[in-house]
Amino acid sequence: MTDRLAGTTGGASLAEICIVACAEAWRGDGAILASAIGLVPSLAARLAQLTFAPDLLVTDGEAGLVVPAAAGLAGDGGLAGDGGTVQEGWLPYRAVLSPQVASGRRHVMMGAAQIDRFGNQNISCIGDWARPKAQLLGVRGAPGNTVNHPVSYWVPKHSRRVFVDEVDMVSGIGYDRAAKLGSPGFHELRRVVTNLAVLDFGGPDHSMRLASVHPGVSVSDVAEATGFLLAAPYEVPVTRLPTSDELALIREGLDPGRRRDLEFA
């Protein structure tokens, strides 16, 4: 894959393409909390805040809300990403769970051990819940997140083990289940970013749809790695490449130690 990518990406690595694709999930969200689980989504949230979504609220991984220390963004000749951050607010866990989540002022990007066609997600356990084959994290906040505010997912290894017909323990709920609730319409799954593609829920009945393939990836590559039928437009676009400003921010500001490559090893 890396070989196929060479020459088509303007020098951007797969990790960098994925970070930008994840950052795009928060475009247009305004002043809401961008929560990110895992390194790639965390870098993506910071990148979005530094560039096209400056109003986003981003945490330091604990209870601090942080903004770029330097006012100048890329383009002003300055790199805010290397200036560190200053704390602008305080959001301990209890304030995240209630009311930040329940008020809808949040968009989280979580992982998914399994996800189905309608976006039902599982991070709890694999196999029979009563005695699982593999105990994972537990449902965490996924049930509450998905009935309250936008949710996106990051899947570093797109495969039929993850993209399944039916998940073993519904943690975050999908469009089919949300439609049956009769609750206010706070359920929204924005996008799923993987190492192969970007997916959204623009298919029939809000089923998963191929939104774009990363450079060097074919539509059939994605279809083969997906355990259900994916909707797709006639022409599938290629995921946009990072701009030179974005690359500079990632490389020199947000992740000079190249921790981002570890997820793609």
Chain contacts with another protein (rule: CB under 8 A): 62-64, 90, 92-94, 97-98, 101-102, 122, 124-125, 129-144, 146-148, 169-173, 177-178, 180-184, 186
Q: How far is the CB of 104 from another protein (least distance, A)?
A: 11
Q: Is 99 helix (H, G, I), strand (E, B) or coil?
A: helix
Asked whether the beta carbons of 76 and 158 are under 8 A apart, the reply is no
Please state, as a whole number, how many other Cβ atoms lie within 10 Å of the Cβ of residue 258.
11
In the complex with another protein, the residue whose CB is nearer, 131 or 235, is 131
In the complex with another protein, the residue whose CB is nearer, 3 or 62, is 62
Q: How far is the CB of 187 from another protein (least distance, A)?
A: 9
Asked whether the beta carbons of 7 and 34 are under 8 A apart, the reply is no
Asked whether the beta carbons of 212 and 190 are under 8 A apart, the reply is no
Longest distance between any two alpha carbons in the chain, whole Å? 57
CA proximity to 144, closest of 187, 87, 94: 187
In the complex with another protein, the residue whose CB is nearer, 105 or 177, is 177
Q: How far is the CB of 161 from another protein (least distance, A)?
A: 17
Q: How far is the CB of 205 from another protein (least distance, A)?
A: 16
In the complex with another protein, the residue whose CB is nearer, 54 or 64, is 64
Q: How far is the CB of 122 from another protein (least distance, A)?
A: 8
Which structure tokens are listed for 123? 């991070």
**Residue 174 to residue 179: CA distance in whole angstroms:** 9
Residue 143 C-beta-side C-alpha neighbours within 13 Å: 8
Strand-pair category, 197-200 with 114-115: unpaired
In the complex with another protein, the residue whose CB is nearer, 83 or 132, is 132
Q: How far is the CB of 143 from another protein (least distance, A)?
A: 4
- Exposure string over 54-68, b if 16+ CB within 10 A, otherwise e: eebbbbeeeebebbb
In the complex with another protein, the residue whose CB is nearer, 40 or 80, is 40
Q: How far is the CB of 178 from another protein (least distance, A)?
A: 6
Which structure tokens are listed for 111? 């992982």
In the complex with another protein, the residue whose CB is nearer, 139 or 197, is 139
